[in-house]
Chain A
Amino acid sequence: MKRPSILMLITFLFGICIVLALHIAAPKKENHKHAGFERLFAPEGFIQPIDTLDLGRHGYYFAGTDAGKVFLANRSAVGYVLEINTQNLRDTTYHIINADNLKYKALDVKVNPPYFFLMDGIMPFIYRGSTTNWVATSYIDSTYFVNALPLSDSTFALTKITNFKTSFHKIIKGNKEPEIFPDLLEEQGGEGVFSTYGTIHYDKTNDQLVYVYLYRNEYFTMDTNFNLLSRGNTIDTISQVKIVVDKIASENSLTMSSPPLTVNPKNSVYKGFLFNNSNLLAGNEDPDLFEKASVIDVYHLKDGSYQFSFYIPSLKKKKIKAFRIVENSTLLGLYEHEMVTFKMSKPFKTKNLLTAL
């Protein structure tokens, strides 16, 4: 062996060792450290995979559901919507959206038959079209928003940030100004953007809205006029957000300056029940099992009671990206490249859930 190759090998190993040392010294598994609560698991076999559909590409997200079908839109191929029959995962249809030369920056497609919506909070605009011909035309000259959720054919719930503070707005076609509801989101740590991050859901059956905080164990329900109906807590112990926010002075922007502790990353609402994918390990859980699957906790929104938990398995070692509950006790799991339908069994004795599913 020649001298430089040995020296280079030593240098190489030195470099690897530094990163290994960093990796070993790095704070571990923050989501395993707050296990001061327990989960009640449904009997094994509560959910059974039924069908798998290879979507052929990644970047899909749920755009909407309708009786017996689900609509997927794609982040990288924004021009079309994939319609899939949820009962057999066949009969897939590609709908090509026609919205002549629409310029977009953060396009979000939502399907709420008989209409579909193209929404962009940065440009900003809301386009509407019919799901019979998939032609979209400008519908509302909207204000800027972070997220928009169609509540009906002509009403939208917007999440907006103004002056480093997040609030809900309701916008109705024909009304000039959106209505503002500033007091529903509660900030923590004197910071109103990151500490109030979360997901808003619309429960069509009960005509109510559900907001689940991302960084704390809390959710609340509202009617569609943004009147607070109830507040509830998820079973974990994170009542205060664990995030560190710093300002980048040169850009006058706020950003997180340490990895945040995510509590409720993904959720879905169905007929008065909240299905919440928690990021936190419980005291009575096997950490390996927890890491290999996505745990779902079920809550009854009417009284905020915790029902039970179950795991959605990973596919090709990847956890679900998103999930939805639809009729016939079916759970739709969206993975990187695939969609899988799971059947939830009814024998589990939870009185309320039995009737809902």
Chain B
Amino acid sequence: MKPILTAFPNFFRRHKGIVIEVICFLFILLFVYAAVSKLADVQKFQVQIGQSPLLTNIAGFTAWFIPIIEIVVALLLAWPRLRLYGLYGAFALMVIFTAYIIAILSFSEHIPCSCGGVLEKLGWTEHLIFNIVYIALAAIGILLLTPPRYQREDFTPLGEQGYSH
């Protein structure tokens, strides 16, 4: 019997295409949903993140910047050629969000929440687990999408293989 640690990567590699599609779909769903629910009521979002000690001075900027970035990343993910950049973007965003949660939980007396829609209902621990799962998904996506022979050279997204060679 194979150890579970090698069985998992093998499963992902065998079903590479579908796994990447699912991961990208999950990210697009998350980011579009989060961005739309923020943009739908920017004023409320701005007031809410103003309560955060880390963001209170740049609340006006952040209230627009975060949803716009989320939509940009979702668009990158939707476009096969730019998908790898999208995954790096998604990875970075999820790391930022997670680091922010950890920072706010450990250094702050006031812990406000301003995630959109149903995500508001998550507790901080659930939120943390949710984010870490998404970070792992982005990492899996990046590893699967980077073609083996490009891994030592400049990476080229999968979609460009046919054209460049």
Interface residues of A (CB under 8 A from B): 2-4, 7-8, 11-12, 14-16, 18-20, 22-23, 25-27, 244, 246, 248-251, 255-260, 262
Contacts and interface: CB of A to CB of B under 8 A. Distances in A.
B50 A246 contact: yes
B135 to A, nearest CB: 9
A2 B103 contact: no
A256 to B, nearest CB: 6
A250 B110 CA distance: 24
19 contacts: A2-B151, A3-B150, A8-B139, A11-B92, A12-B92, A14-B92, A14-B95, A15-B91, A18-B99, A19-B96, A19-B103, A22-B54, A22-B100, A26-B54, A26-B57, A248-B41, A248-B47, A255-B47, A259-B52
Contact of A246 (B47, B57, B93): B47
Given A246-B47, A250-B43, A259 B55 contact: no
Interface of B: 41, 43-44, 46-48, 50-57, 59, 88, 91-96, 99-100, 103, 107, 109-110, 139, 142-143, 146, 150-153, 155
A15 B57 contact: no
Given A4-B155, A11-B91, A250-B41, A257 B103 contact: no
A3 B151 contact: yes
A2 B148 CA distance: 9
B55 A22 contact: yes
> Which of B59, B94, B95, B100 has the most chain A CB atoms inside 10 A of its CB?
B95
A23 B103 contact: yes
Nearest to B46: A257
Contact of A2 (B50, B56, B94, B152): B152
Given A3-B151, A22-B103, A15 B92 contact: yes
B117 to A, nearest CB: 14
A58 B131 CA distance: 26
Contacts of A260: 110
A11 B107 contact: no
Given A16-B99, A19-B103, A22-B55, A257 B47 contact: yes
Contact of B95 (A15, A244, A257, A262): A15
A11 B85 CA distance: 11
A18 to B, nearest CB: 5
B54 A16 contact: no
A259 B47 contact: no
Contacts of A23: 54, 103, 107
A4 B143 CA distance: 7
A257 B114 CA distance: 12
A182 B58 CA distance: 38
A27 B53 contact: yes
A3 B152 contact: yes
Contact of B99 (A3, A19, A246): A19
B91 A18 contact: no
A15 B99 contact: yes
Contacts of B55: 22
Contacts of A11: 88, 91-92, 95
Given A15-B96, A257-B50, A7 B155 contact: yes
B44 A257 contact: no
Given A7-B88, A8-B139, A259 B57 contact: no
Contacts of A262: 109
Nearest to B153: A3
Nearest to B45: A248
